[in-house]
Each structure stands twice: as structure tokens, then as C-alpha cells.
Amino acid sequence: MKDNVLNLTVVLADGTIIKTKRRPRKSSAGYNLTGMFIGSEGTLGIVTEITLKLQVIPQETSVAVVTFPTIRDAASAASRVIKAGVPIGAMEIMDEVQMSVVNKSKSTKKVWREVPTMFFKFSGTKSGVRENIDLVKKLSKQCKSIDFEFTADPEEQKKLWSARKESLWSMLSLRKGDEEVWSTDVAVPVSRLADIIEVSKREMDELGLFASVLGHVGDGNFHEAIMMVDRALEMEGTCTGEHGIGLGKKKSLVKELGLDTIGVMQKVKLALDPNWLMNPGKVFDHPAETNPKGT
């Protein structure tokens, strides 16, 4: 998303209204304030206007669903697709637990194989899409893929994508009583994706937790039903690929970036919001609380 934002209008803590940038696609005019406010979770100011880039509607779109014997095979296929530079609109991984949850919840019109499954979206020209599908099929085969289904028909695309779309709701619909679902959001370098999924699945099993894996693997980002932050950090990853820090991951952010880097963020916030008014307590604490000596 952030790459599609051209500029922002922001109301600052002292009431000043600024526009971060004008409207050209490329600019080197001063500090990148647009990037600074995006993802600051309301702690630097309140965004009241956003200018977005327009995107061209592709000539052709297509969805493919590919099944694999193990989650490692599926993650390896994802890694190969990325390394081959195949242009992909979306690439998502779901493990056998998540697929069975979708079946149990009866939230889609299709009955799914309960095995690790990858979902791909393609877009572009007719022959470009066709060529990329063939390439992904070949690379999947090299990783022992079982089935390879694809379609360019709009209704069939919806049906094939439905397991991905309904995954969260199907998980929530299976809760009993006051059971809670915890969703995580770590990201690691793409080369470590298979490792972290395998390790975290094993640890979940050992803890006796019911856990499923769902990942936006094109970015090395995946969600799982419990905190896997330490594993991700060991692999040079991040505690949050897209959901942000909020209250829940403040300690993880310290672990990930260290107090010096967070010190720079605190200084930036203090410069723009000296009275710590904007969404206080989120992302990181006031320096006086982080470091009682106040250095």
C-alpha cells in the first residue's frame, strides 16, 4: 500500500496542517515526510487526506491453486517463483490445518484437499499471464506439486480464491465458548521462509496448540495463530510485516531494533509532538518511561 501513496495532508499536534509533498510520481524535494507519517500509527499527527496512484486495470487476470505434500515443498516453490522473477499479483500459502478448517466451516462452495496449498493471482496481457502460469507450474512440479488448477473465468476465479478469502472467518467460526484466536504477523527474508514455517509448526505441536499457517509469501510475511516473534528475529526478520506495533508488540520492537534506533523515533515524535498527545502509548513509550535516567 505505502508505495501507492503520493502525498498526505496531516494535522499536527499544534494544529498546523501540512501537505507532505505535491503530486508527481517521483520527487527528491526534502525529507520523505510521506514515508515518515505512513505506518506511524497516529503518533505523529492525524491524516485527513491521501492522494493515491492510479493503477491500470489489467487485460487478463487468472487464479491458480497448487497442492503440495509438505509445507516445506510449498515454501520452496514460493521461493523458486520469487527467485525466477515471475511477476505475481499475489502468492499465498495455507497449511493442511488451515485447509481443513475451511472445509469444516463449510464457508466455500468447494471441498478442498487437506494438504499444504499455494494460491496465486496473475495479471497482465493474455499471453503474458499464460506464460507465467506455465512457469509457475514447472517450478511447482520441481517441488513435488500434486494438483495444479487454474482459471481465467471471473466466477471460477472467485471460487478458487474463496478458501483464501474465507480463511480468517472460517477459523473464527470454529471457536467454542470463550476460545480466543491469536493472529501473528511476522516477516523474514524470503530465503528463510520454509525454515520459519517448519520450526514454528513444530513448536506449536509441541505446545499442544491448535495452529494454522497462512502467509503472503511473496513478501516473506506469514500469519500464525500464536507469537513467533523470537524465531523471526533470529532469522533477521521483523515482528510485524503489515499490522504494525500498536500496544501488543512494543516489547518485540525493542528486541527487533534496539533502544538506539527507537531513540531516533522517540526524538522525531518529541520534535513534532512535544506534549506526547498523538495516540500516546502506542508503538513505543515516552523516553522517560523507556529509560528512567532520561538519557
Positions in 34-53 near its own copies (CB under 8 A): 35-36, 38-40, 44
Residue 89 as a binder of its own copies (CB under 8 A): the answer is: no
The answer to whether 237 and 229 have CB atoms below 8 angstroms apart is no
Grid coordinates in use for 87? Answer: 511477476
Query: Is residue 187 involved in binding its own copies (CB under 8 A)?
Result: yes
Are 230 and 216 a contacting pair, CB within 8 Å? no
Q: Which stretch binds its own copies (CB under 8 A): 92-100, 103-111, 154-162, 212-220?
A: 212-220
| 141 lies in the site for its own copies, by CB under 8 A | no
User: Any residues with CB less than 8 A from the CB of 236 and at least 6 apart, and which?
Assistant: 188, 189, 192
SS3 118: strand
Among 52, 172, 209, 270, binds its own copies (CB under 8 A): 270
Nearer to its own copies (CB atom), residue 162 or residue 184? 184
Applying CB under 8 A, the span of 106-114, 171-179, 204-212, 250-258 interacting with its own copies comes to 250-258
Q: Cell 472445509 maps to which residue?
A: 103
Query: In the set 78, 88, 194, 283, which binds its own copies (CB under 8 A)?
Result: 283
The alpha carbon dihedral of 149, 119, 69, 217 has a sign of: positive
| 154 is an interface residue for its own copies by CB under 8 A | no
N-term to C-term CA, the chain: 36
Return all residues near 116 (Cβ < 8 A) that are at least 6 apart. 67, 68, 69, 70, 71, 73, 74, 93, 94, 95, 96, 99
Q: Considering the rule CB under 8 A, would residue 206 count as an interface residue with its own copies?
A: no
Say whether residue 277 binds its own copies (CB under 8 A). Answer: no
* Residue 261 in contact with its own copies, rule: CB under 8 A: yes
- Which cell numbers hold the place of 277? 498527545
Q: What is the SS3 assignment for 187?
A: strand
Closest distance of CB 177 from its own copies, Å = 32
Which residue's CB is nearer to its own copies, number 18 or number 172? 18
Q: Do 40 and 152 touch, CB atoms closer than 8 A?
A: no
Q: Does 275 bind its own copies (CB under 8 A)?
A: no
What sign has the CA pseudo-torsion 247, 252, 258, 264?
negative
CB of 26 to its own copies, least distance (A): 4
Q: Which residue's CB is nearer to its own copies, number 27 or number 142?
A: 27
Q: In the structure grid, which three cell numbers stand for residue 84, read together?
A: 525466477
Q: How far is the CB of 3 from its own copies (least distance, A)?
A: 7
CB 57: neighbour CB atoms within 10 A? Answer: 7
Helix (H) or strand (E) holding 216: strand 213-216
C-alpha cell of residue 25? 510520481
Region binding its own copies by CB under 8 A among candidate stretches 90-98, 102-110, 180-188, 199-207: 180-188
Number of residues that bind its own copies (CB under 8 A): 79
> Quick one: 74 or 283, whose CB is closer to its own copies?
283
Q: Out of 160, 194, 245, 278, which residue is the one contacting its own copies (CB under 8 A)?
A: 245
DSSP designation for 170: H
Q: Is 162 in the site for its own copies (CB under 8 A)?
A: no
Least distance CB 32 / its own copies (angstroms) = 5
